[in-house]
Chain A
């Protein structure tokens, strides 16, 4: 029964704090509309498109408010004035063709007025031509992969919030669930085209501040674009249910001034080259274990758990399993190519040869598996090229 008490105290302690915060924010929103506009409304954003969308949103909102005031006003008037308890006697009218035509035509007119700017914005959003930079975005369960097309730069971007914060054993950080290990870095003032697709199920890539949301669908390549106007860090999330960790695959974009972005891209290219060379050398067990532990934590642990115990039957345990402790080739195969018909994805395109070798080595030696075996990145590289 102690867990009940623990649960209760866990719930009530922050609850009292939050309740106080709720009351203050609520009173603030009543007092100042600007707070409402910032925190609880659609963001205005940092692109021309996001501003247009925001103004469409506000126009249609105010149209609804006005219609609402008129309709509910008449209704309220009738409810007060024409109640039986005040001695109201009902009239007998029940038809009026003229008024029926009128209240069909007026809404129609309002809608036409609304459709004109909406059409213009939509056309604009669909024109992804003449981009300065193309980024391919691939959704994976449950991370994003970014490729700068034609630049030989590619990396994955996974949730960086520590598990302890999610499980309430550590205090939550400022950007809880909205932080990643490798953010997508983009230049400002350049037209960036996004090509979204998926390696498994349907995901959706969304950054509210850009007004960009596009589904990432296996077998399809969708197009979207943006031109960011202000440098900064912009956060969004996956918005299509994609399985267990749908709530844990945020999008983080860092927008840099053009010159800084160019420098970043050059540095990133050099890094990629160095990593490629690094894969050719001999790695020690310690080096691989150290790198493998990190890779395992960001990529594998969400299903197979930090302690390797998994969550059977969907996610099998790796502790003492036949594949992980015996046949090395089978182990490499399943990590590199995945297993069809199961959630086990192919990691050939997601991880580098060094990361693949490291994570396989780590799994073969962690949690008491202690096989003492290691696989060199060069071996993986060779197998990948076949």
Chain B
């Protein structure tokens, strides 16, 4: 369990910091703060809870990553070598579920917890106890989910999209547990989103208008509304599954007069906004980092906000592009093709704005900037394949092949995950008081870039050549590209251990960071000391145009 290491280190670092801050607490007459495990169990501090979220998502990243490596080992060459198809299907399903709901989403929530109060000059989140509750739901949900792997008949094996009736009538007995765990994770997301909206709308420092907020805050505000809108739809769909499985209803069972396609409509009405839930906060992080290291204001701030808003609204109008092959009527196919093509426009605007920000700046290439630049390039590649997939006639050839696997991994791994890594490198000095080790960080960056592209770029080719996704074994013409992907996956997976080392080292010491750790950084979090004390902005700062005036 390599993930145990940083947990301990961060714990120690935060504990020593907690000791002094806790002392201040006593002085305020709150009684003594709990120590040890209880401190983390009972904490209502946004920084502690942010740390918990980040550690949780990092351990999920490694668990989901190990599953990905099981998949890539089996696909290293044709034939069945390591695992049997039943287990392979459980691995693809669990890998997807854990990465989406356990790694990417909690990582963004963790960053939001840490940084939103600091970026808007608030003393904490608006609803601290709810904050504690929404975090502690997560370990429960994912322990339950992981435990299904040990149950009779195995864990979920129907893909992370769990299409009925494979996930109902034909599912293993553990499926009810899977549904329950998803319910718990969903409640956690909804509560987190409510908290973030309440914080942003109510706790901004005096003088800070909505249009003064950093883009990370803006993108999270919009993401939170998306979460509140779509998580209940998911909850409804899985509850219908639960009834089909246990109480003899036939929502999705054709033999009982139900409709299997209805499930897909419900799932993707949740699922497409969910895609943007996983990318909008990434846009926010990159919009903070690019101006900082270009030493130039973000180009087109207002248009960035409007673009984010339009992407969010349009994300409700494109869901059936995941379903071009289910036999929708022609009119529906055309509608969803046009709306999907249209969503490329605001997304393009964002990329253009970042590049215009860099243009005629004074650019330096510290690790956060490296990850942010790689994000822009690789996310755009994922955007390009997305544009290709939007062309409905061509989608009949791409659909459910490795071309799709390449596409969504490009937006999620070298996209969303790289943005999270960029954010971690950017804010680590604020969290620990030390700069992350520059040499190791750069090694981590370059190995990750090479590994991730070696993994996912060949998948475009295996997909176009006709390899379906979610198969444990494949025809011989796909062998070469699969071998490359597997080698890349191991390189990428192993190089993430470097990230662990960087975090541990950074928590323990290194080059001390001043309050403003990066030369071009202007947002409010850089006005508090590094590491940020447990309590900040206890007296609200007066701001104008997003800057503290006294």
Interface bits A311-327 vs B (CB < 8 Å: 1, else 0)? 10110000000000000
Let me know if A215 and B152 touch, CB within 8 A. Answer: no
Let me know if A204 and B299 touch, CB within 8 A. Answer: no
Let me know if B85 and A93 touch, CB within 8 A. Answer: no
* Interface set, chain B 350-388, CB cutoff 8 A to A: 351-352, 355-365, 373, 376-377, 380-381, 384, 387-388
* Interface set, chain A 98-146, CB cutoff 8 A to B: 99-100, 103-104, 107-108, 111, 114-115, 118-119, 121-123, 125-126, 141
Chain B residue at smallest Cβ distance from A102: B352
Interface bits A180-216 vs B (CB < 8 Å: 1, else 0)? 0000000000000000000011101010100111110
Let me know if A115 and B384 touch, CB within 8 A. Answer: no
Let me know if A15 and B362 touch, CB within 8 A. Answer: no
Across-interface contacts of B153 in A (CB, < 8 A) = 313-314
With A and B bound together, what is the CA distance between A247 and B75 in angstroms?
Answer: 12
With A and B bound together, what is the CA distance between A73 and B474 in angstroms?
Answer: 38
Let me know if A94 and B79 touch, CB within 8 A. Answer: no
Chain B residue at smallest Cβ distance from A236: B466
Report A185 CB to chain B, min CB distance, Å: 21
Across-interface contacts of A341 in B (CB, < 8 A) = 169
Across-interface contacts of B303 in A (CB, < 8 A) = 100
Let me know if B361 and A90 touch, CB within 8 A. Answer: yes
Quick check: is A89 within 8 A (CB to CB) of the other chain? yes
With A and B bound together, what is the CA distance between A68 and B302 in angstroms?
Answer: 25
Q: Chain A interface residue count: which class?
A: 35 or more
Across-interface contacts of A220 in B (CB, < 8 A) = 254, 260-261, 327
Among A41, A84, A125, A167, the one with the most B-chain Cβ atoms within 10 Å of its Cβ is A84
Let me know if A243 and B295 touch, CB within 8 A. Answer: no
Let me know if A121 and B393 touch, CB within 8 A. Answer: yes
Given A215-B327, A244-B86, A313-B152, are A172 and B483 also a contact pair (CB < 8 Å)? no
Interface bits B257-301 vs A (CB < 8 Å: 1, else 0)? 011110000000000000000000000000000000011111111
Q: Chain B interface residue count: which class?
A: 35 or more
Across-interface contacts of B396 in A (CB, < 8 A) = 53, 125, 211-213
With A and B bound together, what is the CA distance between A245 and B472 in angstroms?
Answer: 9
With A and B bound together, what is the CA distance between A64 and B386 in angstroms?
Answer: 10
* Interface set, chain B 139-184, CB cutoff 8 A to A: 152-153, 157-159, 163, 165-166, 169-170, 172
Quick check: is B344 within 8 A (CB to CB) of the other chain? yes
Report B34 CB to chain A, min CB distance, Å: 46
Interface bits A5-32 vs B (CB < 8 Å: 1, else 0)? 0010011001100110110011000000
Given A75-B358, A122-B393, are A177 and B255 also a contact pair (CB < 8 Å)? no
Q: Which of B193-201, B218-226, B335-343, B499-507 is the contact stretch?
A: B335-343
Let me know if A90 and B475 touch, CB within 8 A. Answer: no
8 Å CB contact of B301 from A94, A200, A217, A311 = A94
* Interface set, chain A 216-250, CB cutoff 8 A to B: 217-220, 222-223, 236-248
With A and B bound together, what is the CA distance between A26 and B165 in angstroms?
Answer: 42
Report B323 CB to chain A, min CB distance, Å: 8
Quick check: is B44 within 8 A (CB to CB) of the other chain? no
Let me know if A90 and B159 touch, CB within 8 A. Answer: no
- Give me the 8 closest cross-chain CB pairs, A-B, nearest first: A219-B254, A247-B471, A222-B327, A94-B297, A64-B384, A91-B360, A40-B461, A239-B400
Interface residues of B (CB under 8 A from A): 76-82, 85-86, 89, 152-153, 157-159, 163, 165-166, 169-170, 172, 254-255, 258-261, 294-303, 325-327, 330, 333-334, 337-338, 341-342, 344-345, 348-349, 351-352, 355-365, 373, 376-377, 380-381, 384, 387-388, 391-394, 396-397, 399-401, 461, 464-466, 468-477, 479-481, 483-484
**7 A-B pairs whose Cβ atoms sit less than 8 Å apart in the complex:** A56-B394, A78-B363, A96-B299, A100-B349, A103-B349, A115-B338, A201-B163
Interface residues of A (CB under 8 A from B): 7, 10-11, 14-15, 18-19, 21-22, 25-26, 39-43, 49, 52-53, 56-57, 60-61, 64, 67-68, 71-72, 74-75, 78-79, 82-85, 88-96, 99-100, 103-104, 107-108, 111, 114-115, 118-119, 121-123, 125-126, 141, 165-168, 172, 174-178, 200-202, 204, 206, 208, 211-215, 217-220, 222-223, 236-248, 311, 313-314, 341, 343
